[in-house]
Structures are given as C-alpha cells and as structure tokens.
Amino acid sequence: MDLKIIFEFLIELQVNNSRVWFKKNNDRYQKAKLEFEQLIEILIPKIKQIDKDIEVSSAKECVFRIFKDVRFSKDKQPYKTNFGAYIAKGGGKSPNAGYYVHFEPDNSFIGGGIYMPEPKILKSIRTEIFENTKDYKDIINNKEFKKYFSEIAGEKLKSAPRGFSKDFVDIDLLKNKHYAVTYSVNNSFWYKKNLIDNISDVFKKQYKFNQFLNNVVNKKVND
C-alpha cells in the first residue's frame, strides 16, 4: 500500500480539475483509487471488531465516486479532490451511522455518525436525545470521546427545532442539522507506521455515539 500515489494524484487534480486532464491521467487515477481501496479493505475487518453490526465485505461497497454531480451546483469542477469511504451497516448509501475516512491533501479527517439525516430520522434523533439526555451527554462528554471529538460537526439551527420547547435546558443539543463527528488529521498522519491502529482507535472512541444513533434508526426502520 503506497499512499503517496494518492497524495500526488490528488494534489495535481486540485490544480487541474478538468475532464481533459483527468482523461490523460486516468491510469494514475486508477492506481490511486486502488491504493485507497486497499486501505479500506484493511480497515473493514478492524471496524467489524469494533461494531458487530457492520455487514460490509468489500471496499467497493463503501468508497464514493470521485465524479461530481454538477447539475445543481455553482462549482462546476467535475471531480472531487478527495477519496472518501463510508463504512456502515448497509454500505456507503446507508441511513445508518457509520465510520468515515476522508483522504484529501491538507484537509483529511476521520469520523462518522449521520450526515444529512432524512427529516423523519433527524426528528427521531432529537426526540431520543430529549428523552434520554443524560445517556447522550454521558457519551459526548466522555473524556475518551473528547480525545478526538470536541463537538458535533456541521451547521446548527439558530432557534429551537419545531416541536421542542426553547426552554428545554439542553436545547442546544437538539439544534444540530447533522449528528456527525470529525477528527482532522495532517498529511503526515497517513505515513505513520501505526496508521491502521490510529484510525481504529478513533473509531473505537466513536462507537457508542454511533450505537446511540443507530438505535434510533433501527427503531424508525422497524416502525
């Protein structure tokens, strides 16, 4: 596994984000993609040891396409400048909380949870937190969790979400639009000998957070 191949390709893609350049460098893309898939193949069994509900068996179920849908985007660059993989029960497009690897020069991170949950699931997560606030706070305030995740990532509502009183003492916990976490890593992180163990440790600390969210998702699916 040579992650330098990924770095070199993505760095050049950042300044040559065009279909013409990509076509000329397709062989390099295929090699970089293969290296990233090999990384994910190594991580999958490690994640399965942490989270027994993970059913994914290959990287191809988890790795996102590099091609962007630019039809409704102001940014018309045709390619993402990262490789990403989402390891969750049900694969990369699953509604379940999972484990995410984002490989991008100068903007890499490890994390997961649920990003952009469907409205019904988002409301159910907020309801679960409202009804079991102590359990949720015990998870996100745990020092092992805080080692990597100082806050819940992403945008927040400015006021109380519909259906919840603004006077609820922990109303800020319900304002998140996403229930996801990220741990930023620098470029040298990927070259450390204990890379797999380091990523696995991040996911271990995240497991209870994912478990809390997946209990909500599973209830909703089974309703």
Tens of pLDDT, residue by residue over 180-215, are 999 999 999 999 999 999 999 999 999 999 999 999
Mean pLDDT score across all residues of the chain: 94
Does the global pTM surpass 0.85?
yes
Distances from the Cα of 52 to the Cα of 47, 55, 215, angstroms:
8, 8, 14
By residue count, the chain amounts to 223
How would CATH label the architecture of 4-222? 2-Layer Sandwich (3.30)
Angle at 36 between CA 35 and CA 42, to 5 degrees: 95
Q: For residues 91 and 61, what is the distance between their CA atoms, to the nearest angstrom?
A: 5
What tens digit of pLDDT does each residue of 127-143 get? 999 999 999 999 999 99
What tens digit of pLDDT does each residue of 137-165 get? 999 999 999 999 999 999 999 999 999 99
User: What mean pLDDT comes out for the span 64-79?
Assistant: 84
pLDDT of res. 69: 80
Both tokens of 13, joined, read: 């893609």
Residue found under tokens 């193949």: 41
pLDDT of res. 55: 87
Distances from the Cα of 38 to the Cα of 18, 104, 175, 217, 221, angstroms:
26, 16, 38, 30, 32
pLDDT of res. 70: 72
What tens digit of pLDDT does each residue of 78-135 get? 999 999 999 998 877 788 999 999 999 999 999 999 999 999 999 999 999 999 999 9
Identify the weakest region by mean pLDDT among 67-76, 187-196, 212-221. Answer: 67-76
Per-domain residue ranges of the chain: 4-222
pLDDT of res. 52: 94
Residue 221's pLDDT band, with cuts at 50, 70 and 90, is low
Say if residue 97 is exposed, middle or buried (CB neighbours under 10 Å; 0-12, 13-18, 19+): buried
Residue 73's pLDDT band, with cuts at 50, 70 and 90, is confident
Q: For residues 167 and 154, what is the distance between their CA atoms, to the nearest angstrom?
A: 23
Tell whether the model's pLDDT for residue 222 goes beyond 70. Answer: no
